[in-house]
Chain A
Amino acid sequence: MISLNKVNKQFGKLRALQEVSLAIALGKSYALLGPNGSGKTTLIKSILGLVVPTSGDILFEGKSILNQCAYRAKIGYMPQIGHFPQNMKIGQLIDMMKNIRGEVNEIDDDLIRDFKLYSMYDKPMHALSGGTRQKVSAALAFMFKAPVLILDEPTAGLDPLSVEILKEKIIAERGIGKVLLITSHILSDLDDLAGDVIYIQDGKVQYNDSIHNLKEDTQEKRLGKAIASWLGQQEFLSNITK
C-alpha cells in the first residue's frame, strides 16, 4: 500500500530520518513507537507530503507521492496537535471539510455523535479545550471513510471515557480491514489496536515485526514490557560486540 524507499530527511544539521525503508501493507495495523524526537511525526508527515524528504522516495499504491495530492483522498489524518482556523465554529469547520472533500456523499459521523459534537456546533474553535479540539480532530480523520488512517498520538489529552470511544472506533475500523498507522506513548492502548510494531530511534527503523513475534521473542505478555526487554537485549548485544 505505502512503501518508503531509503527516505532521508535533514533539518539543518539534524538527521530526522535516516535511510528509512518500510512497507505498509494492506489490511494491517501498525504501532509506530520510539522515544521523543525519534522521527515518528516526521515519518508521518513525509507520508502525507507535509514534509518533503531530502532523498529517497515514498510510493502510495505503487506511485511516487512527490508533488502529488490526489492520493491524500485515501488518507484520514489526525495530527498530534490539531491546528484549526481559530475563528471558525465546529459546524462550519466540518461543513467546510465536507465541501472541500466534495467527492464523498455519505460521511461517517459516528465520532461526531459519540463525542457529542453536534451539540457544540456553534462553539468557535478558539474557545475549545485541548481535549475537545482533539475530538474534532479525530472526528475529521474518520469522517471520510478513508482506507488508510494515520493517527498521531490519538489519545493524548482525551478523558478516559473518550479514549474508550475512540479506541472502540479504531478497533471497528481495524475490523473492516483498514490500514492503520498509530503512534502513542501509552503502550497499553496500542496492545489492542495494532498488530505490528515499528520502532524508530534517532531516525532509524530498529524493529519492524508483528507484536506477536515480539512478545514471543521476549517472553513477555504486555507490549510495554516486551519493548523494554527487547531494548535491553539490544543494548546487551551491542555491549558484547564492542
Chain B
Amino acid sequence: MARIIKYVFYDLLRTRFLLFYTLFLFVSTFALFQLDSDPNKVILSLMNIVLMVMPLISVVFATIHFYNSYEFIELMLAQPINRKVVFLSEYAGVALSLTSGFLIGVGVPILFYGAGHSAVMLLLVGTLLTIVFVSLAFLSSVLTRDKAKAIGIALLFWFYFSLIYDGLLLWIIYSFSDYPLEKVTLALVSLNPVDLGRIMMLLTLDVSALMGYTGAFYREFFGSYIGLLFSVGVLMLWIVIPTVLSVSIFSRKDL
C-alpha cells in the first residue's frame, strides 16, 4: 500500500494545485492577521473560509483527481494488487495531501501569531471537514462512470450541506417554534458535518451568547468534554460511513 501511496503523492505534487492551495491559505491567513489585531476575530473570519471554501475545494479537487487517475487505477487493477488497497491508497493520498496543505497554510501563520485554543479547534475542524468532503467526493466518484456527473453529485453534496440543509433547518425551527427544539436541533445538526463544525467553532469563540437559550444549551452540551468527543465522533462517522460505502461499491465495480 505504501508503494502505491507514494505514486499517488508523486502524481498529486506534479499538478502544483496543492502548492497553490497551500499558498492561497497561507496568504489569506497572514492577510487576516495583518488586518485585525484581535486573534479571535481572525479565527472567526478564518472559520468562514474553513466552513465554506475548503469543503468546496476538497470535494471538487478529490473528484477531479479520482477521474484523472482512472488510468493509473485501471493499470494497477490488472496487477496483483487488491482493489481495496488501490482505492484506499488514492483516498489516503488525496486526504493526506489536502490536510497537510491546510495545516501548513493555516497552521504556520497561526503558530507565528500565536493564538489560543480556538485556533487549535479551527485546525481540528478544518482537518476533519477536509477528510469528510474527500470521502463524499470519492463516494460520488464511484457512484457514476461519468466525470461530469460525479462532479455534479459532489457539488450537490456541498450545496446541500453548506446551503440547503441550513435553510431546511431554519424552516423546521421556524415552523415548530412553539415547541422546545433544543434536543431535536442537536440531533439534526449532527446530520450535517458543516453545521457541527460551525457549532464546535462558535462555542470555543465565546460568541454562543448570541444564540440565546439554544446557545446556552449547546454551550452546556458541546462545551463539555463529552460534547467534544461526541462531535468529533460524529464527524468521524461522516468520514467512515461514506468511505466504507464507496469501498464496497468500488470492489464490485466494472472497469
Q: List chain A positions with a Cβ less than 8 A from chain B.
A: 11, 45, 48-52, 67, 69-73, 75, 77, 79, 83-87, 96-97, 99-102
Q: Contact: A100 with B76, CB < 8 Å?
A: yes
| Residue in chain B with minimal CB distance to A75 | B78
Q: Contact: A87 with B14, CB < 8 Å?
A: yes
Number of inter-chain CB pairs below 8 Å = 58
Decide yes or no whether B3 CB sits under 8 A from chain A: yes
Q: Contact: A87 with B11, CB < 8 Å?
A: yes
The B contact surface, by secondary structure, is helix
The 7 closest A-B pairs by CB, nearest first: A73-B80, A83-B71, A72-B80, A51-B254, A85-B72, A69-B82, A50-B255
Looking at the assembled complex, report how far the CB atom of A214 sits from the nearest CB atom of chain B, in whole angstroms: 31
How far, in whole Å, are A99 and B255 apart by their CA atoms in the complex? 24
How far, in whole Å, are A197 and B79 apart by their CA atoms in the complex? 27
Q: Contact: A70 with B80, CB < 8 Å?
A: yes
Q: Contact: A84 with B251, CB < 8 Å?
A: no
Q: Contact: B77 with A49, CB < 8 Å?
A: yes
Contacts of A49 in B (CB 8 A): 77
Looking at the assembled complex, report how far the CB atom of B68 sits from the nearest CB atom of chain A, in whole angstroms: 8
Decide yes or no whether B70 CB sits under 8 A from chain A: yes
Decide yes or no whether B7 CB sits under 8 A from chain A: yes
How far, in whole Å, are A99 and B208 apart by their CA atoms in the complex? 54
Interface residue tally of chain B, by bracket? 20 to 34
Decide yes or no whether B69 CB sits under 8 A from chain A: yes
How far, in whole Å, are A217 and B79 apart by their CA atoms in the complex? 40
Q: Contact: A48 with B78, CB < 8 Å?
A: yes
Q: List chain B positions with a Cβ less than 8 A from chain A.
A: 3-4, 7, 11, 14, 69-72, 74-83, 251-255
Q: Contact: A85 with B11, CB < 8 Å?
A: yes
How far, in whole Å, are A77 and B83 apart by their CA atoms in the complex? 17
Please name 6 pairs of A and B residues whose Cβ atoms are closer than 8 Å in the assembled complex, sorted by A: A51-B255, A71-B80, A75-B78, A79-B78, A83-B75, A101-B80
Contacts of B4 in A (CB 8 A): 100
Q: Contact: A72 with B78, CB < 8 Å?
A: yes
Q: Contact: B7 with A96, CB < 8 Å?
A: yes
Contacts of B76 in A (CB 8 A): 100
Contacts of B254 in A (CB 8 A): 11, 45, 50-52
Contacts of A69 in B (CB 8 A): 80-83
Q: Contact: B80 with A67, CB < 8 Å?
A: no
Q: Contacts A83-B70, A85-B69 hold; do A101 and B79 have CB atoms under 8 A apart?
A: yes
Supply 15 further A-B pairs (C-beta < 8 A) apart from A79-B78, A86-B71, A100-B4.
A11-B254, A45-B255, A48-B78, A49-B77, A50-B254, A52-B254, A67-B251, A69-B82, A72-B78, A72-B79, A75-B78, A87-B11, A96-B7, A100-B3, A101-B80
Contacts of A70 in B (CB 8 A): 80
Contacts of A96 in B (CB 8 A): 7
Looking at the assembled complex, report how far the CB atom of A3 sits from the nearest CB atom of chain B, in whole angstroms: 20
Looking at the assembled complex, report how far the CB atom of B80 sits from the nearest CB atom of chain A, in whole angstroms: 4
How far, in whole Å, are A45 and B255 apart by their CA atoms in the complex? 8
| Residue in chain A with minimal CB distance to B85 | A69
Q: Contact: A99 with B3, CB < 8 Å?
A: yes
| Residue in chain A with minimal CB distance to B75 | A84
| Residue in chain A with minimal CB distance to B74 | A83
Looking at the assembled complex, report how far the CB atom of A116 sits from the nearest CB atom of chain B, in whole angstroms: 23
Contacts of B252 in A (CB 8 A): 52
| Residue in chain B with minimal CB distance to A69 | B82
Contacts of B75 in A (CB 8 A): 83-85
How far, in whole Å, are A49 and B255 apart by their CA atoms in the complex? 9
Looking at the assembled complex, report how far the CB atom of A20 sits from the nearest CB atom of chain B, in whole angstroms: 16
Looking at the assembled complex, report how far the CB atom of A186 sits from the nearest CB atom of chain B, in whole angstroms: 24
Q: Contacts A87-B14, A96-B7 hold; do A50 and B72 have CB atoms under 8 A apart?
A: no
Q: Contacts A67-B251, A69-B83 hold; do A50 and B70 have CB atoms under 8 A apart?
A: no
Looking at the assembled complex, report how far the CB atom of A9 sits from the nearest CB atom of chain B, in whole angstroms: 8
| Residue in chain B with minimal CB distance to A146 | B80
How far, in whole Å, are A67 and B252 apart by their CA atoms in the complex? 9
Looking at the assembled complex, report how far the CB atom of B146 sits from the nearest CB atom of chain A, in whole angstroms: 15
| Residue in chain B with minimal CB distance to A68 | B82
Contacts of B11 in A (CB 8 A): 85, 87
Looking at the assembled complex, report how far the CB atom of A64 sits from the nearest CB atom of chain B, in whole angstroms: 15
How far, in whole Å, are A45 and B78 apart by their CA atoms in the complex? 9
Contacts of B79 in A (CB 8 A): 72-73, 97, 100-101
Contacts of A71 in B (CB 8 A): 80
How far, in whole Å, are A228 and B27 apart by their CA atoms in the complex? 71
